[in-house]
Amino acid sequence: MRSKRGFTLVELMIVVVILGVLAAIAIPLYMKFVGASKAGEARVNLGKIASLLERYYVVRSSDSTSSTVAVGISSAMVAQFPQNNAMECITGGTGQQRVPNDMALVRQKHYTPAESDWMGPAGAPYAWSMIPFTITQPISYQYCYHGDGTGTDSRFFVGAFGDVDGDGAFSSFRRAGRVLCASGGCAPTLGNMIVENEAE
């Protein structure tokens, strides 16, 4: 009759080492996958914003005048992008036209914006409300808008900035647009997405 034999210490150590190696490979890959899925949020939303801004310009170009349109000021329609007095978007900036208004609210966590975050105060609405654009689902990035120039000099800049892993390094997604004129007339032109440090 053969005696029952268990695992030796060496065999158990080999199993532990194999599991450790697999974990060392799988965990970074999983974290990279999670980061990429969050980055998809920024790409999709900036695409929507740029399309809305293009439509904003086209609708107004069909009934344009020489007057200007600024956020919070009623005026006749003019073929240009919404203007605001916010400084051009910078990584981790705070204040008007940024949602949320503080980067700390999305650093390594989600922020659920309210509609009022996008609309701005009564009588002085933000540019988001003129497009219009709102998100009331949890977001992992801070979004900002900057628009200036009149007529054919009109331009806009939108950005999404994030620090999804909380290490202090920012990823940024930027999109810009301007008006180009040719013999056939003037039309809004959207630039490509510029991504920096996507994986942080």
Instruction: Reduce the DSSP state of residue 99 to 3 states and report it.
Output: strand
Q: Do residues 129 and 66 touch, judged by C-beta distance below 8 A?
A: no
pTM of the predicted protein model: 0.76
| pLDDT tens-digit readout, 31-56 | 676 666 778 899 999 999 999 999 99
Q: Which helix (H) or strand (E) holds 156?
A: strand 155-162
Peptide bond into 121 cis (omega under 30): no
| pLDDT tens-digit readout, 163-179 | 888 888 889 999 999 98
| pLDDT tens-digit readout, 107-124 | 988 999 999 899 888 777
Q: Which residue has the higher pLDDT, 76 or 115?
A: 115
